[in-house]
């Protein structure tokens, strides 16, 4: 984490999911966590496809207090760094947490393993994997 000698903040959750429910009391329910997506099509190669999901990152403060920045940076299977999202988090200390929910809308241009780096104050805390698999559908097969 940003400074382990300080005793926080600590990573509580980092996940990609299809849906988020947030109750009136602030409690989050993470629905359908995902790490693999299968895409089907008739083209020889996977065409660019729009993809939408949520990125959820939650921290526990420990002794950390104040404003922190959570940065999420996607990397394509070929290693291309895609545009990052920076989100603010306010940490109040001890067991108080801060969570961010980011609505990710991305165009997937290649199949393979994408990595989403999660940084707090520019320090890498984890990476979230997401694999895209393209399955070509064969149609119109005739038998003689």
Report if residue 46 sits inside a domain.
yes
Q: What is the pLDDT of residue 58?
A: 94
Q: Which of 86, 53, 55, 85 is nearest to 69 (CA)?
A: 86
Number of domains in the chain: 1
Per the structure, the complete domain to which residue 100 belongs is given by 4-135
The answer to whether the bond into 9 is cis (omega within 30° of 0) is yes
14 in Cβ contact with 130 (< 8 Å): no
**Helix or strand or coil: residue 5?**
helix
Q: What is the pLDDT of residue 87?
A: 95
Q: How far is CA 109 from the centre of its chain?
A: 17
Report if residue 143 sits inside a domain.
no
Report if residue 142 sits inside a domain.
no
CA gap 115, 138 in Å, rounded: 30
Report if residue 99 sits inside a domain.
yes
Which domain CATH number covers 40?
2.60.40.3880
Report if residue 140 sits inside a domain.
no
Query: Taking the CB of residue 16, how many other CB atoms lie within 10 A of it?
Result: 21
DSSP 14-39: EEEEEEEEE-TT--EEEEEE-SEEEE
Q: How far is CA 126 from the centre of its chain?
A: 10
Spell out the per-residue pLDDT of the chain, length 144, in tens.
Answer: 555 556 889 999 999 999 999 889 878 899 999 999 999 999 988 999 999 999 999 999 999 999 999 999 999 999 999 999 999 999 998 888 888 999 999 999 999 999 999 999 999 999 999 999 999 987 765 555
Q: What is the pLDDT of residue 27?
A: 84
């Amino acid at each position: 984490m940003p400074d382990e000698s300080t005793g926080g903040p600590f990573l509580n959750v980092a996940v990609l999911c299809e849906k988020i429910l947030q109750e009136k009391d602030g409690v989050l329910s993470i629905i359908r966590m995902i790490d693999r997506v299968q895409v089907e099509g008739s083209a020889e190669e996977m065409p660019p496809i729009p993809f939408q999901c949520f990125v959820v990152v939650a921290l526990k403060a420990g002794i950390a207090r104040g404003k922190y920045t959570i940065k999420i940076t996607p990397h394509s299977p070929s290693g291309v760094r895609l545009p990052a999202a920076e989100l603010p988090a306010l940490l109040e200390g001890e067991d108080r947490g801060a969570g961010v929910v980011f609505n990710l809308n991305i165009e997937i241009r290649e199949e393979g393993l994408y990595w989403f780096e999660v940084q707090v104050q520019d320090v890498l805390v984890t990476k979230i994997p997401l694999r895209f698999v393209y399955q070509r559908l064969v149609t119109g097969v005739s038998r003689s």
